[in-house]
Every structure is written in structure tokens, then in C-alpha cells.
Amino acid sequence: MKVWQVQSPGGLDALTLVDKPQPQPGVKQVLLKMGAVSINYRDLLAVKGAYGSKQRFPFVPFSDGVGEVVAVGEGVTKVQIGDRVAGIFMQSWLSGRFQANHPQSALGGAIDGMLAEYVTLDEDGVVKVPAHLSHESAATLPCAAVTAWNALTTVGKLQPGDTILILGTGGVSLFALQFARMMGVRVIATSSSDKKLDKLIQLGASDGINYKKIPNWDEKVWEITERKGVDRVIEVGGANTLNKSLRSLSYGGHISLIGVLSGLSADISTVTILQKGIHIQGIYVGSREMFEDMNRAISLHQMQPIIDRVFPFEQAPEALAYMESGAHFGKICLQF
């Protein structure tokens, strides 16, 4: 079978297509014939060797993929041959609170990921995907969608009529928009592109702000919300957006701190946090239980993830370069 491997730290050139024997499922394991995978910003960092100092090489990248169960090992009871399943991002985070050891089971980083024609996973490490979704659509769910679901539903629950702010039009932000609209929550959105802002409005955002044209977008958020601020920010920017996100929030509002697109560290206005009684919650994807809860909502609403482009499996480097260009609106997938 064919597998993409990252051989050593380097650029996208370090990604190499190799031949390997097809794996067999062990006890309580399933063998998946892969149908599609999707890319997250984190995969781009990992392939480039920029995903933390503990990265190991060689490894098989990508956390997100969907396949059909084609063989089961001894003792498997939760899935059957023919089921369509996705891997969960951290194979050991099944339910309950996040624990220090969970990241050691993250697909496409700490352990080998999904960019292979066949993959074996523990039966606990997979979930059945909504029946109405294609392989590509279902492959977008494990990281970006579960992260957005966790951010919106688990801590300080939002109420219909509340307002959230999403930053940019990446995978996490678009899923947050779709889930928020499902929940009757208003969405204010930012983007670097007016064309993308038009698409956000078509998807149900009430207001769009071009953060390149309006660098003080927090002031615009304040104006749009009649000086009340938003109830939650889905913070994917990190260092260089956090202070503006704090200023965009209402008193008692929440920040779901998710991403680092604009940098890793900055001087943060601690006074704003205390004066406004702001809650800041770090989000690291989510558990298998959250994934299953989210899938029920996606099935009920027949929700369709936003896909920008689908590449063939053989064009993994081209797909990553496309993500790096920032031209995409929605998820980038590969099909087998």
C-alpha cells in the first residue's frame, strides 16, 4: 500500500510517498480502507517540522480521515465490517476532562496519522460518521469541527440570541459559524478578503469586517454590538489578535483560545481581563464523546461542511501548498 511519510524536518519536500506492507488489525483493532482525509493548519506545521520541539521523524501526517472498516481484530464489538468511521484526534481522550497524557495519542503527530491507503486504529479510537455526508465531508470533522463544537457547547454554554465573533475563514471558524447558526446564535465575522466576507454573510453571518482594511476591528465590533460587545470570541489568531478580542468582548464574556495563526506570545492586557470579568478557556480539540454529540447535531440538521477543494491522494504536497497560500475558503481534502 502507498503511504505519505515525513522523513525529516524540512519543507514540504520532506513529504515522501513510500510503499509499505498493508497492516493487519490486532486485538480490539479495526482496519480501515481510507476514503478521504482533510487538512488542518496544524498538519502544515507538522509536515514542515514546526509543530513543537518533541516532534518525531519519520511519521505519517494528518489527523483527519474517514475510511470503511474492511477487517476487524479479535474482540471488536463497537463497529462492523462496512461501517464508515473517522479516527478521533486524540486516540485516548474518550470522555471526561482533558488529561496531560492525551496529546501523546494525537494522530498525525505523536502517533502515525491517516495519510495512508490503509490504517489500523483501536475500536475505541473511531466514531461512525453521519450517513448523509460524503467521505470528503465526513473527513473534515475530527479536528476543526470537534474543536469548534467544544468551544461553543462545553463551558459557559451559549444561549439563542447571544453573539459570537469568529476570526478569519479557516476550518475552525467556519464550523463555529455553522454550529452557532444552528443554535440561534448571531455571528460577527472577520476576514482579510471582501469576497470571503460576502460568502460568510451568505452562510448566515450578520456582519463582516475586513481586518486588513480595518486594523482596529475591535472598535467596529463594539460599534456593531451597540457598545455591549460579543458573548464569545472563537480565538484562532493568538498573540496578535488576543488583545483586540478582549476588547471586543462583553462584560463576563468568554474567549475560546484555540489558535496561533498570528503568533505565540505577546503582552496581554490583564487589566481588561479582570475589569470585564472575562473567562479564558484553552481548547485542545475534544473527546470522542464530544465528537459523537456533534455528529448527532450534524445528522439532525443535515449539515454540510464547507469544502473549498478536493485533491487526489497523490497530490498531498500540492494540497498543503494550497493551504499555505491562504486562498482557501473552507476545508481542503484529499480523496483516495
Give the interface with ligand NAP as residue ranges (CB under 6 A): 40-42, 143-144, 147, 167-172, 190-193, 196, 211, 236-237, 241, 258-262, 283-285, 323, 326
- Tell me how far apart the alpha carbons of residues 65 and 87 are, in angstroms, rounded to a whole number: 6
**How far apart are CB 223 and ligand NAP at their closest, in Å?**
19
Strand partners, 65: 37
Residue 258 contacts residue 236 (beta carbons within 8 Å): yes
Residue 219 backbone dihedrals phi, psi, to 5 degrees: -65, -35
Residue whose CB is less far from ligand NAP, 42 or 84: 42
Residue whose CB is less far from ligand NAP, 143 or 188: 143
- Tell me how far apart the alpha carbons of residues 228 and 84 are, in angstroms, rounded to a whole number: 45
**How far apart are CB 200 and ligand NAP at their closest, in Å?**
8
In this structure, what DSSP letter does residue 229 have?
Answer: -
Residue whose CB is less far from ligand NAP, 213 or 227: 213
Residue whose CB is less far from ligand NAP, 61 or 168: 168
Residue whose CB is less far from ligand NAP, 30 or 234: 234
**How far apart are CB 43 and ligand NAP at their closest, in Å?**
8
**How far apart are CB 45 and ligand NAP at their closest, in Å?**
7
**How far apart are CB 248 and ligand NAP at their closest, in Å?**
12
Residue whose CB is less far from ligand NAP, 38 or 295: 38
98's grid cell: 482533558
- The residue assigned the cell 497530490 is 315
**How far apart are CB 75 and ligand NAP at their closest, in Å?**
31
**How far apart are CB 323 and ligand NAP at their closest, in Å?**
6
Residue whose CB is less far from ligand NAP, 68 or 289: 289
Q: Is the dihedral of CA 174, 157, 86, 122 positive or negative?
A: positive
Distances (CA, A) of 157 to 69, 256, 305, 322: 35, 12, 23, 35
In the complex, residue closest to ligand NAP by CB? 170
Long-range Cβ pairs for the range 102-106 (8 Å, 24+): 102/284, 103/284, 106/63
Residue 136 backbone dihedrals phi, psi, to 5 degrees: -65, -45
- Tell me how far apart the alpha carbons of residues 141 and 305 are, in angstroms, rounded to a whole number: 8
